[in-house]
Amino acid sequence: MDAFLWPDTVGVSAAGQLSIGGCELAALAREFGTPLYLLDEATFRAQCRTYRSALARHYPGTGQVHYAGKALLNTAVAQLATSEGLGLDVVSGGELFVALRAGVPATHIHLHGNAKPRAELEQALAVGIGKIMVDSLDELELLAQLTAGCAQPQPIMLRLTPDIAANTHAHIETGRATSKFGFALDMLDAAATRIAAAPGLQLVGLHAHIGSQIFQQTPFEQTIAVLLDCAAQLRERHNLPISQLSPGGGLGVPYTSDQPLPDAEAYIAALARAVVAGCTARGLPLPALVIEPGRSIVARAGVALYEIIATKPIPLAEGYASATRYLHIDGGMADNIRPALYGARYTAMLANRANAPETELVHIAGRYCESGDVLLRDVRLPPAAPGDLLAVAVAGAYTLSMASAYNLVPRPALVLVAEGRARLIQRRETYADLVARDLPLV
């Protein structure tokens, strides 16, 4: 087992039973059913602490860590992040609703998004949201109008598109000039002029997020340089000081043993150095440094657990490597769209026979009615049979948060595990849930 791909608390008993957080997965499958998602509390908390302590150690100014809720969000997850002293980034009225329900103070929440509907902006303003990350001139105009009569100006940051390549999958690269997100750099002056004429808005900072699953430091350092150039431009041309700077989130995580293991501490140290050096070079005061990790906090804390339902031999065919069988599982693309969406790869093992020799190369096929629903390709496992349990590692990020009820299969439950205790934090969807919004004709 490559322990660095599994939660900190992973263990295997002499009898070959995989456990997380002191709970055997086979027992969890019996108690909660499958497919089941597990969240290891210790790993989640440790990742939050790593970021906070690294910022405190390496950045001489103020540092803030905001958990990017889109990676995985429900009430308990928001509570965990808040209890570790993190703020929260949300991208919709729904995420904002959950964050507030979890008791996250509105002032610790940032609202992002390239197409925030008016009603969601009004919702955010009404609850006194900490900051709105403004994405376009149209949004700026609308916000200027909505806040015109407000007693307190609404703090905002401008999301800029720094035109930097992040060397990641095209679907998760967001910093190039052609991206749908953020202000092009040549729109900065127009934005500043509009803000100066908007008494209800207070520009506090500049933001960029260049993408996700990024393994190199250089694109982040380049992004900081662009943001600081923009801060200098705002000060010189518009007398607008910038007190906060955010290079977003995006640090990569390994999903398979051949991928690098980025060091969050080294990443933070590099960001801190870039901000300090860049501010010194431009004569700017040190801004508060706001980072927004999602995947790197929650991905490895999550494990997906499936039951193998059936198997099918694969005739040797071109393009299909040497896998000899499909193992059909009771979940797939509706609970984890990443392999079908952008070819994401995963690591898996048999949770009930974790010590058995991995002698067979197989494909893991999901249950959904799409031939593209293959969760893992060419994975080496012990010879498996119906009834065996498959655990998939690094399953915490962008899985359940992107889940659908395709084929009207109820979405899986999420269980928080810690010190031998398993707590249901999101129950399995029911058939009643599936029809809750259906209105019969008669």
Does 212 sit near ligand PLP (CB under 6 A)? yes
Shorter beta-carbon distance to ligand PLP: residue 246 or 352: 246
| Total residues at interface with ligand PLP (CB under 6 A) | 16
Name the token pair of 311.
Answer: 């198997």
Selected range binding ligand PLP among 33-41, 145-153, 221-229, 290-298, rule: CB under 6 A: 290-298
**How many contiguous H segments (helices) and E segments (strands) does the chain have?**
12, 21
Is residue 248 near ligand PLP by the rule CB under 6 A?
A: yes
Is residue 415 helix, strand or coil?
Answer: strand
Closer to ligand PLP by Cβ: residue 91 or 392: 91
Min separation Cβ 264 and ligand PLP, Å: 11
Nearer to ligand PLP, 59 or 215 (CB): 215
Alpha carbon distance 392, 16 (integer Å): 16
d(CA 41, CA 203): 36
- Does 331 contact ligand PLP by CB under 6 A? no
Q: 36-40 and 413-418 as β-strands: parallel, antiparallel, unpaired?
A: parallel
Q: Whole-number minimum distance, CB 31 to ligand PLP, in Å?
A: 30
Among residues 116, 295, 328, 367, the one that binds ligand PLP under rule CB under 6 A: 295
Closer residue to ligand PLP, CB minimum distance, 89 or 120: 89
Token pair, residue 338, equals 């990443």
- Residue 411 contacts ligand PLP per CB under 6 A: no
Q: Which residue's CB is nearer to ligand PLP, number 248 or number 278? A: 248
Q: Which stretch binds ligand PLP (CB under 6 A): 37-45, 219-227, 249-257, 420-428?
A: 249-257
* Beta carbons of 286 and 275 less than 8 angstroms apart: yes
- Active-site residue flag, 48: no
Catalytic residue among 48, 230, 279, 369: 369
Question: Is residue 249 a contact residue for ligand PLP (CB under 6 A)?
Answer: yes
Q: Which of 289, 370, 363 is nearest to 322 (CA)?
A: 363
Nearest to 264 by CA among 206, 205, 208, 220: 220
Please tell me whether residue 109 adopts helix, strand or coil conformation.
strand
| Binds ligand PLP (CB under 6 A): choice among 63, 287, 294, 366 | 294
Among 52, 58, 112, 300, binds ligand PLP (CB under 6 A): 112
Selection from 229, 87, 248, 244 nearest residue 179 by Cα: 248
Q: Which two tokens stand for residue 61?
A: 């100014």
Among 247, 250, 366, 412, which residue interacts with ligand PLP (rule: CB under 6 A)?
Answer: 250
347 binds ligand PLP (CB under 6 A): no
Place of tokens 């870039």: 274
Cβ proximity to ligand PLP, 26 vs 72, nearer residue: 72
Q: Does 200 bind ligand PLP (CB under 6 A)?
A: no
Q: How far apart are CA 424 and CA 363, in angstroms?
A: 30
Q: Determine the Cα–Cα distance for residues 182 and 316; give it in Å rounded to an integer.
A: 48
Q: Which residues make beta-bridge pairs with 413?
A: 36
- Tell me, residue by residue from 31 to 70, as one string, x for binding to ligand PLP by CB under 6 A and - for no binding: -------------------------------------x-x
Note whether 173 binds ligand PLP by CB under 6 A. Answer: no
β-bridge mates for residue 66, sequence order: 87
Q: Which C-beta is closer to ligand PLP: that of 94 or that of 241?
A: 94
- The Cα angle at residue 123 between residues 119 and 129, in degrees rounded to 5: 135
To the nearest whole angstrom, how small is the minimum distance from the Cβ of residue 229 to ligand PLP? 20
Q: Tell me how far apart the alpha carbons of residues 82 and 340 are, in angstroms, rounded to a whole number.
A: 33
State how far the alpha carbon of 384 is from the alpha carbons of 93, 262, 308, 354, in Å. 44, 33, 8, 11
- Other beta carbons within 10 Å of 17: 18
Return the residue of 93, 293, 302, 366 that touches ligand PLP, per CB under 6 A: 293
Cβ 280 vs Cβ 23: under 8 Å: no
Please report whether residue 175 would count as binding ligand PLP according to CB under 6 A: no
Among residues 180, 213, 202, which one has the least CA distance to residue 68? 213
For residues 63-102, which are near ligand PLP according to CB under 6 A?
Answer: 68, 70-71, 89
Q: Does 278 bind ligand PLP (CB under 6 A)?
A: no
Of 296-325, binders to ligand PLP (CB under 6 A) are 296
Q: Using CA of residue 281, residue 284, residue 286, residue 290, what is the dihedral sign?
A: negative
Least Å from the CB of residue 295 to ligand PLP = 3
Which stretches of the chain bind ligand PLP, using CB under 6 A? 68, 70-71, 89, 112, 209, 212, 248-251, 292-296
Residue positions annotated with a catalytic role:
369
